[in-house]
């Protein structure tokens, strides 16, 4: 049996037997999410929790001052940032900002793959956010929230992490990038859905992780998966399906014209969103 087939067999068996080691959320994200679920938490206490992590604190202040929040008056402290962002959004935004910690490895080859995956993910996130902002501005529909949009886009391909971790034990596999791409294409969705359930995330996260590449899955109403698909198509992550994705987006009124995706307005919104993760 070739190494490639052996790895594929190992992954399938571990998925079937529920023994595949799934990544865990960064500790600070767990703390914030647990605190946010406490009905007695207040903004001051939440600021203290986030303040335990200097990196997260700095990025929270940055996002509070960004075009993402649509405010012009700058904040300078974590307490001001938390007040501006609000408890409802803090849970998802803090998780999103901590996600980068998962895309690391001590193995140089795996690390290179993970860095590339993180960069691709950030591009998709930025484009997805820009599409949603344009959609809201055009339709005035505000049922979906930008913080959930951001986090669903960040976790849409989270299933690649266990695959790369398992492949790390077979270094020769990395000499065949095509095989890895095939393995990821076949298994990442199923694994990603398992991760979302393990983390206790809602069904909107599960469905995005599992079905974002499966265009036969079409929710009755426009939802986060629509924006992730367009963001991925614009980013070059769905080249073989790009036309189908964009045609579907027009049919579902996610966009009214493909030309908007080539506009300066779209480019500016995507650039501003991307800066959140810089």
Average pLDDT over every residue of 211-218: 96
Distances (CA, A) of 244 to 73, 134, 214, 229: 42, 20, 11, 10
Q: Cα separations (Å) of 208 from 153, 186, 254?
A: 8, 15, 16
CB 125 within 8 A of CB 231: yes
Between CA 187 and CA 162 the distance in angstroms is: 10
Give pLDDT tens digits for 150-205.
999 999 999 999 998 888 877 777 777 777 788 888 889 999 999 999 999 999 99
State the Cα–Cα distance between residues 32 and 30, nearest whole angstrom: 6
Given pLDDT bands bounded at 50, 70 and 90, which one contains residue 212?
Answer: very high
Q: Can you read off the two tokens belonging to residue 194?
A: 């398992």
The overall average pLDDT reported for the chain is: 90
pLDDT tens readout for residues 55-110? 899 988 988 887 666 666 788 899 999 988 888 888 888 998 889 999 988 888 88
Question: pLDDT at position 1, please?
Answer: 44
Query: pTM (2 decimals)?
Result: 0.90
The yes or no reply on domain 3-24+101-275 and CATH 1.10.3210.10 is yes
Contact 188, 160 (CB under 8 A): yes
Show the tokens assigned to 100. 């980068």
pLDDT of 33 strictly over 50: yes
Measure Cα distances from 141 to 134, 135, 136, 137 in Å: 11, 8, 5, 8
Neighbouring residues of 195: CB distance < 8 A, sequence distance ≥ 6:
22, 23, 155, 158, 159, 161, 162, 209
User: What does the alpha-carbon distance between residue 96 and residue 68 come to, in Å, rounded to a whole number?
Assistant: 14
What are the start-end ranges of the H helices in the chain? 3-16, 27-36, 43-50, 54-64, 78-85, 87-98, 108-139, 146-154, 160-167, 177-198, 203-211, 224-235, 242-251, 264-275
Q: Looking at residue 125, what is its pLDDT?
A: 96
Residue 5 pLDDT: 66
Domain boundaries, the chain: 3-24+101-275
Find the angle CA(90)-CA(92)-CA(95) to the nearest 5 degrees: 100
Rounded Cα–Cα distance for residues 226 and 223 (Å): 6
């Amino acid at each position: 049996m070739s190494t490639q087939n052996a790895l594929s067999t190992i992954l399938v068996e571990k998925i079937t037997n529920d023994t595949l080691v799934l990544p865990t959320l960064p500790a600070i994200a767990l703390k914030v999410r647990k605190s946010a679920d406490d009905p007695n938490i207040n903004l001051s206490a939440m600021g203290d929790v986030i303040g335990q992590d200097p990196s997260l604190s700095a990025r929270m202040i940055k996002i509070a001052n960004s075009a993402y929040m649509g405010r012009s008056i700058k904040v300078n402290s974590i307490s001001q940032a938390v007040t501006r962002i609000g408890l409802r959004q803090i849970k998802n935004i803090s998780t999103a900002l901590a996600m980068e910690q998962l895309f690391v490895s001590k193995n140089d080859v795996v690390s290179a793959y993970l860095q590339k995956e993180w960069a691709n993910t950030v591009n998709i996130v930025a484009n997805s956010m820009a599409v949603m902002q344009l959609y809201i501005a055009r339709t005035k529909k505000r049922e979906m929230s930008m913080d959930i949009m951001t986090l669903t886009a960040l976790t849409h391909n989270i299933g690649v992490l266990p695959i790369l971790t398992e492949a790390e034990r077979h270094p020769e596999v990395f000499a065949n990038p095509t095989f890895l791409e095939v393995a990821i294409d076949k298994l990442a969705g199923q694994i990603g859905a398992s991760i979302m359930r393990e983390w206790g995330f809602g069904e909107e996260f599960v469905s995005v992780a599992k079905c974002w590449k499966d265009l036969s899955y079409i929710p009755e109403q426009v939802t986060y998966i629509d924006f992730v698909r367009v963001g991925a198509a614009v980013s070059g992550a769905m080249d073989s399906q790009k036309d189908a994705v964009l045609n579907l987006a027009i049919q579902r009124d996610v966009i009214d014209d493909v030309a908007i995706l080539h506009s300066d307005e779209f480019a500016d919104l995507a650039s501003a969103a991307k800066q959140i993760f810089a």
